[in-house]
Structure 1
Amino acid sequence: MLQQLVQLVKEINQIEYETNLLLTEEFSSLLDDKITDKQAVFLNFLHQKGALQTYELSKLMGTSASAISQLVNRLEKDGYIKRTVNLKDRREVLIELDERGHSYFHKQEEIELAIIDKYYSKLEMDDLIHLKDIFSKFKKIVVQEQNK
């Protein structure tokens, strides 16, 4: 039974990996390949949560303030983020998306909509709901196990 489970999960992971690889290859011309995975995660926190202070980003990323400082310097230099003074407390410096950062997420949205239109739209709505339910159940299991 365990061997079957291991084999099935490996097959699922391989299918997911190959599918993501195919999609990445197809849409690579629209992707910003100057962004590293760590930078993408950093930008995503700003996109999701809005302007944040360096220490907040450090906690979210699970890394040191000096590592965040290096990320901030690089992304600011490249025009993805900007530093602004908090008008409520002038001692605080907030990090937020700049024009290129907003453009990055606009491209991500375009790619996601293109994938939905070209591929997901070919699946039955019931299949998509089932897929979402399965991923939701799996996420719930992961969260529960990590909180033990």
Structure 2
Amino acid sequence: MIWRFLADVVMVVHGALLVFFLIGGFLAWRWPKLIWAHLAIVVWNIVIVLVDFGCPVTATEKYFRRRGGETPYPAGYIEHYLDGKLWPEGATPIVEKIGFAIVVISYIGFFILQRRRKAAGQAKVRGDSVGPRT
């Protein structure tokens, strides 16, 4: 029973990592230091997609499912849990491209905000007014 519980925990964590992949760049707009954790997840996903090897998180879930007496699903996490449920079956390559585009958009916004913050910080240091005088 503990093995099935662990498999479910890994499944939920895996889903959370995928959600973080999509929105982490936007979260970094508010909490800039978060960008480093997000960048690690992005690089991880790029490698998995480009090299096309099995995700170790999926392998861990399947290991726990086997230990719990279940037959693990044959495909990957996305194909098993999301393909055909969250988007039309077989559209995963398109969804991956959209996901990476969302990340690029979030990073563009992040870098624009960082430049503005830096410029505002330099204006304060120089004594320039950055707002109305009262």
Q: Does the TM-score normalized on the shorter chain lie above 0.5?
A: no
Could you state the TM-score of these two structures normalised by the residue count of structure 2?
Answer: 0.35
Q: Which of structures 1 and 2 has the larger relative contact order (alpha carbons within 8 angstroms, sep 6+)?
A: 2
CA radius of gyration, larger in? 2
